[in-house]
Amino acid sequence: MATNGPHRSGNTNQSSRLSRPTRIFSKQTSEDANNETNNTPDKPRTMTTALYGRFDLEECDEGVKINHVWDSESGLPTSRLINEKRPISPSAARRDSHWLAQQASFSIDPDMDSDVALMEDILGETQSIKHSPDPLEEISQERPQLDSPNQLFPIPTEESQEEPITETLSSSSNFRNIEKELKLNKKNVFILSESGKPIYSRYGDEDHAVHLFGIMQAFIAFVEDNKDELLYFSTDTHNFVFVHKGPLILVCIANTYEYPDQIRLQMNMLYNQIISQITNTQLNRVFQEYRNFDLRRWLTDRFLSSLIELMDEDPSYLLQAIRCIPMNNTLRENINSTIIQAGNKNKKVLFTLLIANTRLIAYVRHKSYKLGPSDILLLFNMVHSTTSFKNSENWTPVCLPDFDNRGYMYAHISYVNETSAMYLILLSTNREAFFDLKETHTTIVEKLNSHGYLQKIEKSIRYADYTMPQIKVPEVRHFIFKNFRLNQYTMPLYGPPYVDEKERERLYGQYLYLNHNLYKPTRPAKIIYTVGPKETLFAWIHKEFEWYAVFDPLISKPSAVDAINKLCRWMKNTKDELFLRPATY
Amino acid sequence: MSARRKVLLKVIILGDSGVGKTSLMNQYVNKRFTTQYKATIGADFLTKEVMIDDRLVTMQIWDTAGQERFQSLGVAFYRGADCCVLVYDVTQPNTFKTLDSWRDEFLIQASPRDPENFPFVVLGNKVDLENRAVPTRRAQGWCETKNNIPYFETSAKEAINVEQAFQAIARKALEQDAKTSCDIGLEPNIPIQPEPAKDKSGCCT
C-alpha cells in the first residue's frame, strides 16, 4: 500500500501539509472526481475523463520532493498498473528523492517503480468521494460558508514554516528565502519565457527566482511531452495555476479565495496586458528569431503589477464587464452628441471614451467597430498605473488584443483639466493623427465646459455610488448585477457588515464561489440559493444578465425571492441611468 | 534599454553520465566537492552572479542528466540557451567520442539562430586523476575543427580551472546575448487595418 512505499519514508509527520497528496489537473483530466472511478480505458477520452496525472509533494530527508503518477499509455489509472506492483529498491528511492530544497531538481521518469503505490492511493481516495445527485446540496458540501480564508486554505502554522529543509548543497542560493516568500505572499505571479528565462515576478527580483522558473518550465514541458496541457495543481493551501500561451508561461501561486479557472482568466488578462505593449506579432516574431530573448527590455512592470492589484479586488475582471457612472439619460445624450460632432470633423477617431478613474462615463464608437470589455479594462489599467498622464497630454501606441492583436492603435490620452479625475481617450489607427485628435479633444472639452455639462458630470461622479438603504430593499445586503448585452455591471457600496477590509474580502470570496459554480465546466448551476452561518447566498444566470446577491442568514426563501423581485423592478426602472448605451460616429 | 539593465544568461551543461557535470557546477557555485556519486534526475538548476567587465550577470545554470532515459526533456531544456558547455572525462575516451553527438543533439534540439557560431565551451574534467586517456592535443584538435571552441582542462575535485572555465562560459554567453540585444528594438509602427466587426460581441453593443 501507499503508506509502505518509499515516498512515505520521509519525515512526513513533521510536515503534514507537504505530505498531503497534491492534485494535478491538465486539459485531459477532469474536475469531476466522480468520473474517475467510472471510467474505463475503452471510453473515448473527453474533457471529463479521468484524473491521470498527479504529483505528490512530500518532505523527505533530502528536501522537498515531487513524485508523480502517470500512466503514459492510456492516460488512465489502470488495473494493470496496480496489479503489477513491483518491489521498490531502497536505492531507487534514494535516487528519486534527489529533490533538493536549495538546488531544485525535477524528476521525469514516468515508469518510476514507486508510482504504482501512489496510483493506488489515488484510486482509494477518489472512491471515497461521494456523489450527490442534488447540485445545490453538492455545492454546499463542496464548499461550506467561509469564516476566514484560513478555513478553506489553512495557512501553515509557525512550525511548518520554520521547519528546516535539509540542504545537501548549501550556501549561496536563496531558494529557501524564496520558498518563505512564496508562503508569505498570498498571491505570487511569475511570467517566464518558454526557455525558462525570467520576465516578471510580482514580488522580489525575478532574477532571484530563477530556480523556480526552471522548475515551472519543467512542469509545463513534462506535461506537454504527453501531448497534454498543465492547467493547475492544488495543495491544501495553495493553487498552482499555469498558463502557457504563445511563447510565454504565466504562473500563479495563490492562497486566496479564487478558483483556478478564475486565476487562469487573470493570467490571460496579464498576457493581454503584455500584448497591449508589444503586439502579438512582435512577441511571436522575437521569440521565433531569438529564443533566448530577454523580454524585460520591452516591458513596463508597472502595468502588470497594477493590473494584478486591480484584479485582486475589482469584480470587473472577474465578470469581464465595465462599470459606469450612473447618470441622467439626457445628460448622456448631450455628452454623446458633443463627442460625435467633434469627431465627425476629422473622421480619424475610431473610438472615444470618457472615463473617471476606472469607470466609464461615455463611449462613442465608429459604427463598424466595437471594443470588447477586456480591451477597455486594459486601457483603464494603463491610465490607472501611469501618474504622469495627469500632467501631460499623451500620444501612445497601444495594442488592443481583443480588437486586433496584430498591431497598434494610437491613443490620445488627456485629462479634461488639472483638477478632474475625468479623462478622454481618443483612439485612431492613423499614427500621424496626433494633431487631429488633439484638436478633437480640445473641442470636446470646450463644448462640454461651455454647455455646463462638465459640472453636471462632476456632480454625477460625486454621487456615483449608491447604498442599499437608498434602493429600499433592506433584505439585500449587497449585490452585483451584470448586463450581458451591454457587458456592464452595477453594484452598491459595501454596507454593514461588510465595512472592514477583512469582511469585504470574505464577501468577495463568496462571490467568487458563486461565480465558480455558475461557470464551472462540469454541471454549471443556473440558480444557486444557499444558506450559510453568516449570510444567505444567491446567484442567477439568465441569458440577459447574471446576478449575485447576499442576504441575512435568517431570511426565508419567499422573502428572498420577494426581495429579488423588488430589485428587479428597481433595476428595470433605473437601467437607463445605471447602464450606458454607446453612440456611434 | 539602459546600459545597466539586468542580464540573465542561460547555460546548459551536457555530457555523458558520470563525467562530473554536477560536480563542476557545485564546485563553481558552492565551492564544494563530494566523491559520492548521485545521478542527476532530469535537470538541476543553480544560479550564480558574476561580474564581467563591471557588469553584474546572473548565470542560470541548467545541469542536465547524462543518462539517456532523461533525454526526452531535451527540447524544453535546451531551448533559448545562451551557451552550451560540453563536458567529458579525460580518463574515459568514450565520453570524449560522444561530444560530437552531444553537440549535434543540442544544435538539433535547440535549433539556435546561427548554429555555426553558437557558443560552446568544452571542459575536459578529472585531470587530477592519473589514468588519463585523452591527450590534450586530441581534444584541442577537435575543438579547432568545430569553429574554435574554447577548451579547458578542469578538476572539480581540486578546483582546477573551474573558475576560469566558467568565466569564459559567462563571457561567451554574454556575447551571444548581446548579439540578440543590440539589433532588436520595439517597433512602434505596426498600424492595423481593422475589419469591420460583424456580430462580434463587444462592450456596450
What pLDDT is recorded for position A340? Answer: 92
CB contact under 8 A, B203 and A372: yes
Could you tell me the pLDDT band of residue A399, with boundaries at 50, 70 and 90?
Answer: very high
Sort out which chain B residues have CB atoms less than 8 A from A322's CB and list them. 203-204
CB contact under 8 A, B203 and A210: no
CB-nearest partner of A105 from B8, B42, B197: B42
**Chain A, nearest residue to B174 by Cα:** A292
A483 and B CB contact within 8 Å: no
What pLDDT is recorded for position A481? Answer: 95
Could you tell me the pLDDT band of residue A150, with boundaries at 50, 70 and 90?
Answer: very low
> pLDDT tens digits, residue range A423-466?
999 999 988 889 999 999 999 999 999 999 999 999 999 999 99
H-assigned helices in A418-556 = 434-450, 453-462, 468-471, 501-519
**Chain A, nearest residue to B5 by Cα:** A297
Q: Which three cell numbers stand for residue A284?
A: 511571436
Query: Which are the contacts of A238, defined by CB distance < 8 A and separation ≥ 6?
Result: A153, A253, A254, A255
Dist CA A137 CA A259 (whole Å): 19
| Contact call for residues A544 and A485 (beta carbons, < 8 A) | yes
Highest mean pLDDT pick, A32-36, A190-194, B35-39: A190-194
CB contact under 8 A, B10 and A487: no
Interface mutation target, options A170, A291, A300, chain B, most CBs of B under 10 Å: A291
Dist CA A421 CA A464 (whole Å): 13
* Comparison of pLDDT for B67 and A5, the residue scoring more: B67
What pLDDT is recorded for position A223? Answer: 85
Count of other CB atoms within 10 angstroms of residue B60: 25
Q: Exposed, middle or buried: residue A214 (CB in 10 Å: 0-12, 13-18, 19+)?
A: buried
Reported ipTM: the value is: 0.80
Question: What are the Cα distances from residue A570, in Å, to A367, A473, A494, A563, A575?
Answer: 31, 9, 18, 11, 8
CB-nearest partner of A207 from B6, B40, B177: B6
* CB pairs A-B closer than 8 Å: 204
SS (H, E, C) A290-334: CCCCCHHHHCCHHHHHHHHHHHHHCHHHHHCCEEECCCCHHHHHH
A331 and B CB contact within 8 Å: no
CB contact under 8 A, A215 and B40: no
Domains and CATH numbers, chain A: 40-75+132-313 (3.30.450.70), 323-461 (3.30.450.30), 469-583 (3.30.450)
What pLDDT is recorded for position B71? Answer: 60
| Residue A408 C-alpha, separation from nearest chain B C-alpha, in angstroms | 5
What pLDDT is recorded for position A77? Answer: 32
| Residue B49 C-alpha, separation from nearest chain A C-alpha, in angstroms | 10
Residue A456 Ramachandran class (φ > 0 left, ψ -120 to 50 alpha, else beta): alpha
> pLDDT tens digits, residue range B110-162?
888 888 889 999 999 999 998 889 999 999 999 999 989 999 999 988 888 88
List the Cα angle A207/A209/A214 in 5-degree steps: 105
> Which residues, in sequence order, are bridge partners of residue A483?
A488, A545
Dist CA A206 CA A189 (whole Å): 10
Could you tell me the pLDDT band of residue A373, with boundaries at 50, 70 and 90?
Answer: very high
How many residues appear in chain A?
585
| Residue A51 C-alpha, separation from nearest chain B C-alpha, in angstroms | 23
CB contact under 8 A, B193 and A373: no
What pLDDT is recorded for position B176? Answer: 77
A6 and B CB contact within 8 Å: no
Measured N-to-C along each axis, helices A260-289 and A301-313 cross at an angle, to the nearest 10 degrees, of 160
Query: Which are the contacts of A319, defined by CB distance < 8 A and separation ≥ 6?
Result: A480, A482, A489, A515, A546
> pLDDT tens digits, residue range A79-100?
222 223 333 333 333 333 332 2
> pLDDT tens digits, residue range A550-573?
999 999 999 999 999 999 999 999
CB-nearest partner of B113 from A197, A215, A289: A289
Per-window interface: A 386-405 vs B, CB < 8 A: 397, 403-404
> pLDDT tens digits, residue range A243-297?
999 999 999 999 999 999 999 999 999 999 999 999 999 999 888 888 888 888 8
CB contact under 8 A, A292 and B80: yes
* Comparison of pLDDT for B96 and B1, the residue scoring more: B96
* Comparison of pLDDT for A127 and A146, the residue scoring more: A146
What pLDDT is recorded for position A111? Answer: 39
Q: Which three cell numbers stand for residue A557?
A: 426563501
Secondary element (H or E) of residue A495: none
Could you tell me the pLDDT band of residue B5, with boundaries at 50, 70 and 90?
Answer: low
State CA B88 to chain mean position distance: 14
Dist CA B177 CA B81 (whole Å): 9
CB contact under 8 A, B72 and A108: yes
> pLDDT tens digits, residue range A486-525?
999 999 999 888 999 999 999 999 999 999 999 988 888 9
| Residue A53 C-alpha, separation from nearest chain B C-alpha, in angstroms | 17
**Chain B, nearest residue to A584 by Cα:** B205
Dist CA A464 CA A459 (whole Å): 8
What pLDDT is recorded for position B178? Answer: 75
Per-window interface: A 214-253 vs B, CB < 8 A: 214-215, 217-218, 220-222, 224-225
CB contact under 8 A, B113 and A290: yes
Instruction: Among A227-231, A318-322, A475-479, B77-81, name the one with the lowest average pLDDT.
Output: B77-81
DSSP structure string for A57-110: EEEETTEEEEEEEE-TTTSS--HHHHHTPPP--HHHHHHHT---SSSEEE---T
| Contact call for residues A249 and A191 (beta carbons, < 8 A) | yes
Dist CA A13 CA A19 (whole Å): 8
What residue type is assigned to position B92 of the chain?
A: Q
A105-120 average pLDDT score:
35
> pLDDT tens digits, residue range A297-314?
888 889 999 999 999 989
A278 and B CB contact within 8 Å: yes
How many CA atoms, within 13 angstroms, populate the side-chain half-sphere of residue A569?
8
Largest CA distance in chain B: 80
Dihedral sign for Cα atoms in the order B24, B25, B31, B32: negative
CB contact under 8 A, A297 and B1: yes
Q: What are phi and psi of B60, to 5 degrees?
A: -100, 105
Among A338, A333, A313, CA closest to A323? A313
CB-nearest partner of B184 from A215, A220, A290: A290
CB-nearest partner of B46 from A173, A222, A278: A173
Sort out which chain B residues have CB atoms less than 8 A from A293's CB and list them. 80, 180, 184
| Contact call for residues B46 and B25 (beta carbons, < 8 A) | yes
Dist CA B24 CA B11 (whole Å): 13
| Residue B12 three-state SS | strand
| Contact call for residues B27 and B159 (beta carbons, < 8 A) | yes
* Pair type for strands A187-193 and A248-254: antiparallel
Among A387, A376, A437, CA closest to A580? A376
| Residue A298 C-alpha, separation from nearest chain B C-alpha, in angstroms | 7
Question: What are the Cα distances from residue A327, in Å, to A104, A361, A423, B72?
Answer: 57, 8, 17, 61
What pLDDT is recorded for position A268? Answer: 95
What integer best gives the mean pLDDT of chain B?
81
What pLDDT is recorded for position A388? Answer: 82
**Chain A, nearest residue to B3 by Cα:** A297
* Comparison of pLDDT for A26 and A3, the residue scoring more: A26
CB contact under 8 A, A196 and B60: yes
* Pair type for strands B55-64 and B83-89: unpaired
